[in-house]
Amino acid sequence: MIMMMVAMLSMTTAFAEDENTNAVANVEAYKMDININKLADALNLGDNQKAAVENIHHVFSTEMTYAAQYGNANRDAMVKDAINTDVKRMSRVLNAEQMKKYLMLLNITLNNRGLNK
């Protein structure tokens, strides 16, 4: 009886630890911290564009961080809204060539983090 109880407690602890690890990994996937200078170089941004892109990305990053804190049903909708808003705002600042490259980089980032569903 005691051995069974010890085994059950061990299993419970293992499952709880696994859930906690998954939660931390999940939150990390939503962190959108980037090096704005590297993005500016990749997109060949002017100074005004760089400042605007930095502000837009800051808002996007904040929205993604908030999304990570919600349940799956709300999270998916919040991520979709954050991405759509980011793309809409970036399209006002970037030219067609820059936007094409930005969308490619964004899509790769979302795929690598398992957020592109």
- Residues counted in the chain: 117
Question: How confident is the model over 7-56, as pLDDT tens digits?
Answer: 555 554 444 444 333 443 477 778 888 899 999 999 999 999 999 999 99
The whole-number pLDDT of residue 23 equals 43
Check residues 103 and 6 and name the one with the higher pLDDT.
103
- Higher-confidence position of 116 and 31: 31
- Closest of 85, 103, 7, 102 to residue 45, by C-alpha: 102
Over 60: is that where the pLDDT of 6 sits?
Answer: no
Instruction: Region of 81 please: left (phi>0), alpha (psi -120 to 50) or beta.
Output: alpha
Produce one character per residue of 40-78: b if its CB has 16 or more CB atoms within 10 Å, e if not.
beebebeeebbebbeebbeebbebbeebbeeeeeebeeb
Q: Give the pLDDT of residue 25.
A: 47
The residue ranges of every structural domain in the chain are 35-117
Query: What pLDDT does 1 receive?
Result: 55
pLDDT value at position 69?
86
Q: What confidence score (pLDDT) does residue 28 get?
A: 79
pTM to 2 decimals? 0.75
User: Residues 34, 47: contact at Cβ < 8 Å?
Assistant: no
For CA atoms 83, 87, 105, 93, the dihedral sign is: negative
pLDDT digits (tens, 9 = 90+) for 66-104: 988 887 778 889 999 999 999 999 999 999 999 999 999
Widest distance between CA atoms in the chain: 71
